[in-house]
Structure formats: C-alpha cells, structure tokens
Structure 1
Amino acid sequence: MIKLLKAAWLCSVVLYGAIAHAAAPDKTLTIGVNNWAENIAVANLWKVLLTQKGYSVKLQPGDKAIIYSGVAQGKLDLTFEVWLPSADGRPYDNVKAHVDKIGPWFDKAQLGLAVPDYVKIDSVDQLNAAKDEFSHDGQPTIFGIESGSGLMGLTSKAKQDYALDYNVLPSSEAAMLLTLQRAEQNGKPVVVTLWNPHWVWAKYKLHYLKDPKGTFGTPDSIYAISAKRFSSDFPDASRWMNHWKMNDQTLGDLMNEIRAAGEAQPEKGAENWVKKNQTLVDAWMK
C-alpha cells in the first residue's frame, strides 16, 4: 500500500511539473533594429534589461519598412524607432491598424539638412545660390542615408519644395558620417541629412539649415510599436517599456558608452551604461 501511495505521489509530481512546464510563458522576444546609432543603442539596452529578467532576446536587423511590416504581421515582437507625426507618418499609417504604439520614449526628435558651422549659410532656400560650394563629381550633392528612410523621403520633398538643383545621394548612416568626417578634416563645405538624437552633434560643430517651408515638419517624438499580442503575451515587458523615457543627455551617454566599448559589441556598452544608471533603470522596471 505504501509503495502504491508513493508511486501515485511521484506520478502526481511528474504530472504537475509537466503541466506547469507546458503552461510556463514563452519569454523569447525578437526586436527589429534599423541601422541608426540611437536605435542600435536602445535595442541593445533593452536586450540587456530583458535578459536580466530571464527573457531570451534576438535582435533582427533590417530596413524600417521591412521591420514595420514584420511587426504588423507578428513576425517581430516590436521595434523602437518610429518618428511621429512627420518622419515616419506615412509608413506608420500603413501598419497602425495592426500594431500597438508604446511611448513616446523620446520627445523633441528633429531631422533635416545640416552643415558644419564653418559653412556660412543657414537656410535651405540659400542652397541653390551656394551650389558650387557643394559639388561632388561635378554636381551639387546632398549626402543622405538609406533610400527607404522617412528622412530621405522628406529630403526628396524638400528638393521639390525648394526647387533644389542638387543630387540627393542615398547611402547609409555610416557612409554619410564618413563623408561628414572627411569634410570636417579638410574644412570643406558639405550638406548632409541628419537627425537628433545622435552622438555626432557632440563631436562636430554643426547646425540645421532653417526650413521656412516646413518640409521637415516640427520636431517629432520617437515611439516603439509592438505586435498586437505583445501586451498580453508579455505584460511585464509592456509595462516596463511604458515607464521608459530618455532625453538627449541619457541617450547621448548611452551612445557614447557603446562607442567607448567598441561599436562591434554594443551590448557591452549598454551593460556599462546600465551599471552607471541603475536608479533610473529601477524606475522603469517596476
């Protein structure tokens, strides 16, 4: 009888364990990451924070439009880089019925055309008169980033609105920054598509060109978007992200920590930042 009771007890323990295991929530998250410095920074920040809470986090690189579609389809759980209402308004409108918006986590994000301070123009409508200064391969050129970005779309619109006799050259953030670096080193005029938050404003003395026609809009806020199931599947993570706020100082410090640790290992820089900002992090993770 004792043996039977013991066997029954063992069976119940095994059965309970199997049920509990089957009912345990899946804590695997996939985050879409586009190749912008602040996006890489915050994605790695959240990878660090969520991993500390027992989640398994994968970062999936891609262009913004592809990432937004992946979130809308539920193939990605979330992404952190949606500038509203201006820069990403159109691609967001394409998916907003199928995603949830989180935030904003950053206010007063700006984008536009920028030049070094040694360039003596201060408005987009002055570019045509100075076009000989900005020649590249025999043609006045604005150096841009990825062709599918909202910033490049607005730059194309600015070319029309201001009748700019310029080539808008798409490339990547890295290529644009390299062009800016070389121009700065040689004191040469250059005009680039740029945004803040970005660490480059701390490295060089730059200014936005005024935009009297308002093509680039007023400063945006940056939001995250998640798959519709995210808040129900991951209620803790959803709550933490709704507490999350950053500003130029905290985000700039995070990006600088990543650059100091080596951009090939952004997670290490994010870990260093968390250690130095534990009080702020604790306020988010409650």
Structure 2
Amino acid sequence: MKRGILLLVIAALSILAACGGAGDSADDEKSKGTVTFGLNNWAENIAVSNMWKVILEEKGYDIELKSMEKAPVWAGISQGDLDVAAEVWLPATDKPLYEEYKDDLKLHKTWYEGTGLGLVVPSYMDINNIEELNQKQDELGLEQIVGIDPGASLMEMSRTALDEYGLNYDLVDSSGPAMMSELKKAYEKEEPIIVTLWNPHWAFAEYDLKYLEDPKKVYGEADDIYYMTRTDFGDDHPEIVEWMNNWKMDDDSLGSLMATIKEADDAESGAKQWVEENQKLVSEWTE
C-alpha cells in the first residue's frame, strides 16, 4: 500500500515538473526578440536608452545596451550590428557622422527640440565670452579645458574653437562622468573651471552654470535630437518604430528622468522607477 502511494506521489511530481517545463517554454516563446541599443556615455543618452530598455522589456522584448563612443555607434547602426541609437543631434553637431553614414541607416523623428552645447563655466566666474579666455587667463589661473570622450562631436567643435579663437589652453580628453566629477569638485570649492558641456543635462539643474558666448558660432545653432535605426529595423519591429515615433520629451520630463537616475543605485533601476511614476506619459507613446 505504501509503495503504491509513493509511486503516485512520484508520478504527480513528475507531471508538475513537466508542466513547469512547458510553462517555461511558453514564457520563452513570448519573447518578441532581442533588440540592441548603441549608446555613448552622455547623461541623457544613458537615461533614455535605459528608459526604453524598461519600456520594451515590459512589452516582451529582450533589450541589450552596448556602450561605446559615438563614432562606433554610427558604424554599428550602418553595418546592422546595432538596431537602435536613441540620440542623433542635427543639423549641426552630428552632421559629419550623418553625412558619412546616412545612406546606410534610417533616421527617424525628433524627440527633443532645442539643444545647446559649448564651453561652460560656473556662474560665479567673472567671464562671459570665449574671446575673454586668453585675456583673463592669469586671473583665472587655468591652463586647460576639461573635455569628454575624444571621439565626441562636441570635442571636435571644441578643438575648432581653440583654433578659431587662438586659445592658449589645452583641451583634456576625458569622459562625461569624469568631467562632471571635476566640475563637482571645483564648484564645491568655488574654484574656476571650464568644461565642455551640453543640454539637456542634469548639471544645469544641480549647479548654477552658464555658457560662454560664442560670437563666431563655432558650436552652431541649436540642434534637435532624433533617433536612428538600422535600415530594415522597421520591417522587423514596426511597433517599436511606431512607439518611438510617438516619443516626445522636454526639459521637465527629461530632466526628471535624469534626476531620478542620478539618485538611484544604477541607471536601469532609476529608469524603472521613473517609468512607474510616469505611466500616463509612457502610455501616450506606446498605446
């Protein structure tokens, strides 16, 4: 009798295990495929890429984020090694890259309007114009401008600015986070510092900063931000293209996303928190 009961228990457990396996298989089949985003180390790029990771994974996609400098992102999209890049600044900042790769990628709609970039200083510094940098160099006690990733378009523009204005400063290659670390240290001590910076960026909410006027327009006029994909991505994933074409952000929404991520343990958890708190806006894009 006991042997018979034992056999029944074993059989029941086997059936449950089989059902569990079948369930796992069904879950696997629910995946809508893997989508790979290319991103560089700019605060808003990290923010929106992680935001879309959260949104799309909730919709059944597997999302991979690959971080690299800007030029390899463009090359990866054009070669089909990457699927999506959330940030293209046009008509000025990314024009050289766009001209090089435009025939081998798909540029989609604008999601943010009216960017800015250039040389930035704390507002407590007594300087307002790039042309004053040499004149006030001894007073400032500075010999360098703290830059970001060497391959960034902003750095290329800054190298041009050094030449156009004949600046007696070294432009130091760095990264977005390293540049922000230097800015934070100087700002807390009210020391002079010059950095390459852009908006949208959470730094303008955190610190009282100002752009140095650029009378020669080396940094160009304001850009808008688009997103791009590999050429046939829309055929493979039309609903993602539809959702991302509905995507619009402004200083308030993007600023709150970046601020939430800045305060979180990591970018993805911050993005998840922001998505949960902004379901109405996200639903406008995806429904």
User: Scaled by the length of structure 2, what TM-score is found?
Assistant: 0.87
Relative distance call for 1:220 and 1:285 in structure 2 (3 A) is same
The residue aligned with 2:15 is none
3-state SS, counterpart of residue 151 of structure 1: helix
Q: Could you tell me how far 1:63 is from its partner in structure 2?
A: 0.7
Q: Deviations over 1:147-190 (max 9, x none)?
A: 10000000011111111111111111111111111111211111
**For the residues of structure 2 that align with 1:215 and 1:236, how far apart are their CA atoms?**
39
The residue aligned with 1:273 is 274
- Mapped pair 1:142 → 2:145: yes
For 1:40, which of 41, 46, 56 is the aligned residue?
46
Which residue identity does 2:60 align to in structure 1? Answer: G
For 1:190, which of 168, 182, 193 is the aligned residue?
193
Q: Deviations over 1:191-234 (max 9, x none)?
A: 11000011111111000001111110011111111000111100
The residue aligned with 2:257 is 254
3-state SS, counterpart of residue 280 of structure 1: helix
Q: Deviations over 1:231-270 (max 9, x none)?
A: 11000000000000101110010011111222xx211111
3-state SS, counterpart of residue 75 of structure 1: coil
3-state SS, counterpart of residue 129 of structure 1: coil
**For the residues of structure 1 that align with 2:208 and 2:30, how far apart are their CA atoms?**
53
3-state SS, counterpart of residue 207 of structure 1: strand
For 2:211, which of 205, 208, 225 is the aligned residue?
208
Q: Could you tell me how far 1:133 is from its partner in structure 2?
A: 3.9
Which residue identity does 2:283 align to in structure 1? Answer: D
**For the residues of structure 1 that align with 2:205 and 2:194, how far apart are their CA atoms?**
17
CA contact (8 A) 1:134 1:191 kept: no
Structure 2 residue runs of 5 or longer lacking an equivalent are: 1-28
CA contact (8 A) 1:124 1:162 kept: yes
**For the residues of structure 1 that align with 2:239 and 2:120, how far apart are their CA atoms?**
40
**For the residues of structure 1 that align with 2:138 and 2:234, how far apart are their CA atoms?**
53
Relative distance call for 1:31 and 1:107 in structure 2 (3 A) is same
Q: Deviations over 1:28-53 (max 9, x none)?
A: 10000111111110000000110011
The residue aligned with 1:219 is 222
**For the residues of structure 2 that align with 1:251 and 1:24, how far apart are their CA atoms?**
31
3-state SS, counterpart of residue 115 of structure 2: strand
The residue aligned with 2:137 is 131
**For the residues of structure 2 that align with 1:133 and 1:95, how far apart are their CA atoms?**
44
**For the residues of structure 2 that align with 1:203 and 1:84, how far apart are their CA atoms?**
26
**For the residues of structure 2 that align with 1:202 and 1:83, how far apart are their CA atoms?**
21
The residue aligned with 1:283 is 284
Structure 1 residue runs of 5 or longer lacking an equivalent are: 1-22
Report the more deviating stretch, 124-133 or 234-243.
124-133
3-state SS, counterpart of residue 88 of structure 2: strand
For 1:71, which of 55, 73, 77 is the aligned residue?
77
Which residue identity does 1:83 align to in structure 2? Answer: W
**In angstroms, what is the RMSD of aligned CA positions?**
1.5
- Mapped pair 1:99 → 2:105: yes
**For the residues of structure 1 that align with 2:150 and 2:286, how far apart are their CA atoms?**
36
3-state SS, counterpart of residue 30 of structure 1: strand
CA contact (8 A) 1:134 1:141 kept: no
Relative distance call for 1:34 and 1:282 in structure 2 (3 A) is same
Report the more deviating stretch, 173-182 or 148-157.
173-182
The ranges of structure 1 where at least 4 consecutive aligned residues each deviate by more than 6 angstroms after the TM superposition are none
**For the residues of structure 2 that align with 1:135 and 1:238, how far apart are their CA atoms?**
50
Q: What's the % identity of the aligned pairs?
A: 43
User: Scaled by the length of structure 1, what TM-score is found?
Assistant: 0.88
Q: Deviations over 1:114-136 (max 9, x none)?
A: 00011011111111101124445
